[in-house]
A = this chain, B = another copy of it.
């Protein structure tokens, strides 16, 4: 717990842009991090920015920010803003992030880094330039910070599973299985960039590269849209609103994506990202198979890491179910006694903790924008491969 003399410490003034689902999750993380972890800087939740000023003020009060803004450009020149946390849709990431970094603000940017490789490249370049001036950046692949995943990574690094030969990853949801589910922005390419591939497949790619400590160099991919036309949502109805307006519109993104990736060390990874796995709500699973053991995680079973120790005699071996809630489990010392489980949102809190620590120590936080760009390039290569009959395609 926080026991240092705060008067002697530096301060980190944070601004957030966006107040949707991710804005809520990030705000929670900024509120919670200093309550549970001993941070090296005093974090101040200075300002929330949202396009409409009345709604910005309302959101700031609700989510715990001291003030509000309606134009993110104003944040760039404010001396009382040290870090900008970007929680708006992907199409806006590049403009804000590049401007912020150029203005000397640290940046935390939600995943995926951008909607296009070009944008992501510009961001990674800006990040590299900024880093030279001590300005840090991080992309928000928060699943890296689930304690079970952080433990898995530690075990991989320690050699517990040997050389990684294959990885099997899936992110399976079912929220649009019903063909009467109306068209929404998430199903239109010009707004969402891509469908299951970019939305949830991006998480798989990052986890795969993180756990294997390696990069995907070529891919073979296929995209599928099972329901090609959907009823238009009635004006004013939100996502999931069932009062369809007259008429139907085209679904222009993928409902599901399957792809293989080869990594530079020879690992083959298989991926499925789908919104059509009936009965699966948010099932992200990843199994990493090495020459000396294996590890498996399921997001829905957040606190559990499965581990197969290949050095045990076969007659007594099997996957063990580790409840990743021990004092020695990464991040867990700050929470509750053993066995008192935590949830999805805590990964965002850990992300803030690691980011603040990196800023205080002057080290580059991970995942870097370069890592975010790497994910983006894999996504783009999958799309190119899909457009050429699944042919293996360089990243």
A residues with CB within 8 A of B: 1-3, 21, 25, 27-28, 31-32, 35, 58, 62-64, 151, 155, 161, 165-166, 168, 170, 173-175, 177-179, 220, 222, 224, 226, 256, 258, 260, 266, 268, 270, 272, 274, 276-283, 287, 289-294, 299-303, 307-308, 310, 313-326, 328-329, 335-346, 388-392
Given A31-B35, A320-B319, the answer on whether A173 and B389 have CB atoms closer than 8 Å is: no
* Copies of this chain, whole number: 4
Complex contacts, A321 vs chain B, CB 8 Å? 318-321
> B177–A310 contact, CB under 8 A?
yes
> In the bound complex, what is the Cα–Cα distance between A91 and B307 (angstroms)?
40
16 pairs across A/B with beta carbons < 8 Å? A1-B62, A35-B64, A151-B316, A166-B224, A174-B289, A177-B289, A220-B220, A258-B268, A270-B270, A278-B290, A279-B319, A302-B343, A314-B326, A315-B324, A318-B321, A320-B320
Q: How distant is A43 from chain B, measured CB to nearest CB, in Å?
A: 13
> B338–A341 contact, CB under 8 A?
no
Complex contacts, A287 vs chain B, CB 8 Å? 277
Given A2-B62, A301-B301, the answer on whether A320 and B317 have CB atoms closer than 8 Å is: yes
> In the bound complex, what is the Cα–Cα distance between A3 and B299 (angstroms)?
32
Complex contacts, A343 vs chain B, CB 8 Å? 302-303, 340-343, 346
> In the bound complex, what is the Cα–Cα distance between A170 and B289 (angstroms)?
14
> A278–B328 contact, CB under 8 A?
no
Complex contacts, A63 vs chain B, CB 8 Å? 35
Complex contacts, A224 vs chain B, CB 8 Å? 166, 268
Closest 6 CB pairs of A and B: A282-B339, A279-B308, A281-B339, A320-B320, A343-B343, A342-B343
Specify the chain B residue showing the minimal Cβ separation from A385: B390
> A277–B166 contact, CB under 8 A?
yes
Given A270-B272, A313-B328, A322-B318, the answer on whether A220 and B345 have CB atoms closer than 8 Å is: no
Q: How distant is A271 from chain B, measured CB to nearest CB, in Å?
A: 10
> In the bound complex, what is the Cα–Cα distance between A89 and B119 (angstroms)?
56
Complex contacts, A283 vs chain B, CB 8 Å? 339
> B328–A314 contact, CB under 8 A?
yes
Given A291-B179, A307-B316, the answer on whether A323 and B281 have CB atoms closer than 8 Å is: yes
Specify the chain B residue showing the minimal Cβ separation from A272: B270
Complex contacts, A21 vs chain B, CB 8 Å? 336-337
> A315–B336 contact, CB under 8 A?
no
Q: How distant is A78 from chain B, measured CB to nearest CB, in Å?
A: 25
> B323–A161 contact, CB under 8 A?
no
Complex contacts, A390 vs chain B, CB 8 Å? 220, 260, 390-392
Complex contacts, A178 vs chain B, CB 8 Å? 291
Complex contacts, A389 vs chain B, CB 8 Å? 220, 391-392
